[in-house]
Amino acid sequence: MRYAIVTKIFHFESAHHLPGHRGKCAHLHGHSYRLEVTIRGPIKDAPGESDHGMVMDFDDLSRTVKNSVIERLDHRDLNEVTGLQTTAENLARMVGEWIAPSAANPEPGVRITPHPAPLCTVSFDRDTFSL
């Protein structure tokens, strides 16, 4: 079976703070997040089907991320929405858990990479993801 890795980039705006943090992130502030969603899976061999030759249709991936993530987080206070200590690491894990069930692959691999700032990033790998 042939595998491929598909990545799509999304953007959203959110506010948050890190209670108990010793730096300036303890205070309410906002980010323009760049979110990379990467799916690893088998390339479908389904002649005649719309998604023949794909891991996942980009439109399906966009719909999944918009419904599962963007609508929940865009222009929201992440502390109120998630109930988490809203570090980039926790955000990546949460988004990965929201998206993985919708990845539509029998062997899903999901990598979530939020960029809360231009030079900062963290990745979370879910299930069988490997590069």
pLDDT 10s digits, 34-59: 999 988 889 999 999 999 999 999 99
Q: Which domains does the chain have, with CATH numbers?
A: 3-127 (3.30.479.10)
Task: Decide which of 122 and 18 is more confident.
Answer: 18
Q: Is 70 exceeded by the pLDDT of residue 77? A: yes
Range in 11-15, 23-27, 110-114 with the lowest mean pLDDT? 110-114
Q: What is the mean pLDDT of residues 47-73?
A: 94
Please state the three-class secondary structure of 45-68 as a single string: CCCCCCCCCCCCCHHHHHHHHHHH
Tell me the pTM: 0.84
Burial class (CB in 10 A: 0-12, 13-18, 19+), 113: buried
Separation CA 123–CA 112 (nearest Å):
6
Predicted local distance difference test score (pLDDT) of residue 31: 94
pLDDT 10s digits, 90-123: 999 899 888 876 655 545 577 888 888 777 878 8
Q: Is 60 exceeded by the pLDDT of residue 69? A: yes
Considering the chain, what is the average pLDDT of its residues? Answer: 87
